[in-house]
Homo-oligomer: A and B are copies of this chain.
């Protein structure tokens, strides 16, 4: 394990008796307004699966449900392989923290599917958008005094963080109104793997802030990531920037959904991702 902030944040120690139980402790490096950036909490669940002695294969999907903001301090991860087939394996993960009243409370539930992948016919029907290369763009300025934003080198092409919030509802087309395309990488640099890619799938700022240019209170409720690369494939990306894209779809009665994707600079679709987000007003 390196001392990269992401590896420190997601560091887990295995229980000596029960192989399904892991222990960790938050660090401030990825803190958001209330609690840590959700992506790194999902990454804890992913790490627990990857560390589990019964692991079969590599991640195919993760769904993380954000039940409550994590507090600073210790947490416990319960990571159960609930079904192991010949080539696929199903996991349920629960992250708990003890509250002030000494009650254990759920902060994240997740399901993961892992599988032994085999080479097959394939095609990429989600080609990477043609955009300027990362090197030709400037790194986005820090938009708020929030720790986790500094953990990413973000270079927006379209749909960057709004320069001002003036309540102007976008008059762009439905396809464009909440679209962000952005080059992304860990800061400091860190070779891409399933841990960091899980977190990167959650870096897009809330689509409703772009759509309405109003910073209403929000919170991601559930996020899913489908992985379309092997661990070796991710390792080949190394510390290069990857291209992220996200767009809002339906906004109604306090919840909107987002669809997104992440590509290597060579145009391989590394992951597709979706989330549903609570918003107020």
A-side residues, CB < 8 A to B, are: 60-61, 63, 65, 67-68, 82-83, 85, 88, 90, 92, 94, 105-107, 109-111, 113, 115, 117-127, 169, 174-175, 177-178, 211-212, 221-222, 224, 226, 228-230, 247-255, 257, 259, 261, 269, 272, 274, 276, 278-281
B222 contacts A61, C-beta separation under 8 Å = yes
Instruction: Please indicate the chain B residues that have their CB under 8 angstroms from the CB of A111 in the complex.
Output: 63, 65, 109-111, 222
Instruction: Please indicate the chain B residues that have their CB under 8 angstroms from the CB of A269 in the complex.
Output: 249-250, 252
Instruction: Please indicate the chain B residues that have their CB under 8 angstroms from the CB of A115 in the complex.
Output: 221, 254-255, 278
A212 contacts B257, C-beta separation under 8 Å = no
* A197→B18 CA distance, assembly (Å): 40
B117 contacts A253, C-beta separation under 8 Å = yes
B60 contacts A83, C-beta separation under 8 Å = no
Distance (Å) between the CB of A182 and the closest chain B CB?
Answer: 19
Instruction: Please indicate the chain B residues that have their CB under 8 angstroms from the CB of A117 in the complex.
Output: 253-255
Distance (Å) between the CB of A180 and the closest chain B CB?
Answer: 13
Distance (Å) between the CB of A183 and the closest chain B CB?
Answer: 20
A125 contacts B247, C-beta separation under 8 Å = yes
- With A85-B67, A111-B109 as contacts: A92 and B92 at CB distance below 8 Å: yes
B67 contacts A120, C-beta separation under 8 Å = no
Chain copies in complex: 2
Instruction: Please indicate the chain B residues that have their CB under 8 angstroms from the CB of A276 in the complex.
Output: 60-61, 113, 226
Choose from B106, B175, B250 the contact partner of A83 (Cβ within 8 Å): B106
B279 contacts A259, C-beta separation under 8 Å = no
Query: Please, could you name 18 A-B residue pairs with CB atoms under 8 Å apart, sorted by A?
Result: A60-B276, A61-B65, A63-B222, A63-B224, A67-B82, A83-B105, A90-B106, A92-B109, A120-B281, A121-B212, A121-B281, A124-B174, A125-B247, A126-B250, A249-B261, A249-B269, A252-B269, A257-B272
Task: Pick from A109, A248, A252 the residue with the most CB of B within 10 Å.
Answer: A252
A65 contacts B257, C-beta separation under 8 Å = no
